[in-house]
Amino acid sequence: MTLSNGQSYLAIPGPSVIPERVLRAMHRASPNIYQGELVDLTHSLIPDLKSVAGTAHHAAIYIANGHGVWEAALSNVVKPGETVLVLATGRFCEGWGEMATALGIHIETIDFGNAADVDMTQVEAVLKADTDQRIKAVMAVHVDTSTGVRNDIVALRNTIDTAGHKALLMVDCIASLGCDEFQMDAWGVDVMVAACQKGLMTPAGVGFVFFGPRAVEVRDAMPRVSRYWDWTLRTEPEVFYQYFCGTAPTHHLYGLRAALDMINAETLPAIYNRHRVLAQCVWAAVDAWATAGTMRLNIDDPTKRSHAVTSVVITPPNSERLQTWTRENIGLTLGLGLGMDPADGYFRIGHMGHVNGQMILAALGGIDAGLKAIGVPHGAGAIEAAATVIAKAAPFQETDVSNCNTGCCGG
């Protein structure tokens, strides 16, 4: 039998759950792309995007996914033959490095493995050894979606400064923006890339490059930048058509407007808190499972874990079996162990964007059922532990029932 009919939960780390409000905002006829509502709406997105990124500088929007803005960011500031330093803490920064290689850029990689964050001592040593300042940019991911690690971007900025290096700091926030706190200007980030289908709750297809004054200087000294990726006209368009180097991603812009309205209404501090508590709820469950058998959280130190995605180590081939079971039997789709070695010894739970307490508890309950169904040894009390985290974070208040106590609803 199957128990999968009903509202399903795509708990992969992107694309994330799309709010009804975003979907409804997109369900409309094509707007005029030269004047009127869409033009005003697009102008209204820029300050809101910048505020989510924590920057007062520039935001360029591209019709592209995360890989597109990886290429866009590099194309504006690094030319073929120049060198960048890739801080690999999982599949995603490696992938960004491969993108640089494909653009003819020379990459130097420090590989921190699949279960650790960036070790600043090693970064400082490499930057200090680069006495003729060949390294033009340092590339890092804020949250690596494959391992679930969150890198300390403030420490990375300090390390670059301490080494006396003038390299640009480029950060991938595709998984973290709108989930984990990020402050582009305060943290001294020169270029940041993000996309709309994770914390920003919009269907995949639009990406962003945020850049500050040092990046502008570097861009201006480039001999040429491919027209489509050039961020200059996109941020200072003479006519609206140039915002997107052609036709605007009309429906995505409506969806994004609705998503940003939701973010503004909830406020960023509340959003970061929600993600933190939901992540702690997931960790509590996995820690309970880990008390028997071999499952465990991939990142040991809770201060280095993402609040948007959790990577769980599980004995192969149980990851594959668990994902198949939850998908086919209860309508819960978990993330694969992406780029991990061996990949089927991991699974990932996306808890980014439009997710709440009952969704996470249901997902954890579904995983618990799956472990029992496929016979993976695991500790008891996971759901109890997860529910306790939620209960503590949201203690009962008398006002919760005041509407009924007044008798106004007859009950």
Ligand X SMILES: *Cc1c(COP(=O)(O)O)cnc(C)c1O
Which residues here bind ligand X, judged by CB under 6 A?
Answer: 14, 65-67, 92, 141, 145, 172, 174-175, 195, 204
Q: Give every CB contact of residue 297 below 8 A, 6+ residues apart in sequence.
A: 148, 283, 286, 287, 290, 305, 310, 311, 312, 313
Q: CA–CA separation, 354 vs 19, rounded Å?
A: 6
Strand partners, 207: 62, 195
Smallest gap from Cβ 53 to ligand X, in A, equals 15
Q: Which is nearer to ligand X, 99 or 361 (CB)?
A: 99
Smallest gap from Cβ 291 to ligand X, in A, equals 30
Q: Which is nearer to ligand X, 55 or 89 (CB)?
A: 89
Q: Which is nearer to ligand X, 66 or 255 (CB)?
A: 66
Residue with tokens 């609206």: 240
Q: Residue 54, Cα to own-chain centre: how many angstroms?
A: 15
Q: Which is nearer to ligand X, 115 or 174 (CB)?
A: 174
CB-based contact 373:3 (threshold 8 Å) = no
Radius of gyration of the chain measured on its C-alpha atoms? 22
Residue with tokens 């504006």: 76
Q: Which is nearer to ligand X, 175 or 278 (CB)?
A: 175
Question: By Cβ distance, which residue is nearest to ligand X?
Answer: 66
Q: Residue 89, Cα to own-chain centre: how many angstroms?
A: 15
Q: CA–CA separation, 398 vs 408, rounded Å?
A: 16
Q: Which is nearer to ligand X, 14 or 353 (CB)?
A: 14
Q: List the structure tokens of 326.
A: 């939850």
Q: CA–CA separation, 97 vs 110, rounded Å?
A: 11
Q: CA–CA separation, 341 vs 182, rounded Å?
A: 29
Q: Which is nearer to ligand X, 172 or 287 (CB)?
A: 172
Q: Residue 290, Cα to own-chain centre: how many angstroms?
A: 26
Instruction: State the burial class of residue 362 (Cβ atoms within 10 Å of its Cβ: 0-12, 13-18, 19+).
Output: middle
Q: Which is nearer to ligand X, 87 or 141 (CB)?
A: 141
Smallest gap from Cβ 95 to ligand X, in A, equals 7
Instruction: State the burial class of residue 107 (Cβ atoms within 10 Å of its Cβ: 0-12, 13-18, 19+).
Output: middle
Smallest gap from Cβ 321 to ligand X, in A, equals 25
Smallest gap from Cβ 399 to ligand X, in A, equals 38
Smallest gap from Cβ 171 to ligand X, in A, equals 10
Q: Which is nearer to ligand X, 145 or 319 (CB)?
A: 145
Pick from 329, 326, 304, 328: which is nearest to 314 by CA?
A: 326
Smallest gap from Cβ 68 to ligand X, in A, equals 7
Smallest gap from Cβ 157 to ligand X, in A, equals 19
Q: CA–CA separation, 11 vs 13, rounded Å?
A: 7
Smallest gap from Cβ 92 to ligand X, in A, equals 4
